């Protein structure tokens, strides 16, 4: 089972990610943080196999969370899943520790496909680590 933190303040996007998880063949334990402060609290209290992070969060934005947590011992891999296609946002996120940067598609099917891609990629990585 993949223990996943989703830091996302948009209820519509949370529903879409939940729908994508339900359609996925991967077992996921999902924890939702609706703002950056809540995400930081979860990251400090719990272990996650993966954190999916929106950049535009209230209270602490995604870049701040990455800067505070991504390089910490025991931090999960962070995948930025955001509507920002700005090259500077992508470069900064990857520079401070994000493992991947995915721009949210506007088409529903493409959105769900993007979430499946994230889950598949990181579930495979998690399973390899467990076997080693």
Q: What is the pLDDT of residues 62-100, one digit of tens each?
A: 999 999 998 888 899 999 999 999 999 999 999 999 999
Query: Could you tell me the residue range of the domain that residue 91 belongs to?
Result: 2-131
Tokens read off for 70: 């991504």
Q: What pLDDT does 42 receive?
A: 96
Q: How far apart are CA 125 and CA 132, in angstroms?
A: 11
CA distance 26 to 21: 7
Q: How many distinct structural domains can be found in the chain?
A: 1
Low-confidence ranges of the chain (pLDDT < 50): none
- pTM confidence score: 0.89
Indicate the helix (H) or strand (E) that contains 92: helix 87-95
Residue 106 gets which letter from DSSP? S
Q: How many CB atoms lie within 10 A of CB 43?
A: 24
Q: What CATH number does the domain containing 41 carry?
A: 3.40.50.2300
């Amino acid at each position: 089972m993949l223990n996943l933190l989703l830091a996302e303040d948009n209820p519509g996007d949370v529903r879409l990610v939940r729908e994508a998880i339900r359609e996925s063949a991967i077992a996921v334990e999902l924890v939702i943080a609706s703002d950056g402060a809540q995400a930081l609290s979860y990251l400090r209290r719990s272990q996650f196999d993966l954190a999916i992070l929106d950049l535009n969060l209230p209270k602490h934005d995604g870049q701040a969370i990455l800067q505070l947590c991504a390089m910490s011992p025991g931090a999960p891999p962070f995948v930025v899943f955001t509507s920002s296609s700005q090259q500077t946002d992508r470069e900064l996120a990857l520079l401070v520790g994000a493992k991947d940067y995915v721009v949210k598609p506007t088409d529903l099917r493409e959105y769900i496909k993007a979430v499946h891609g994230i889950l598949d990629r990181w579930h495979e990585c998690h399973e390899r680590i467990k076997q080693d």
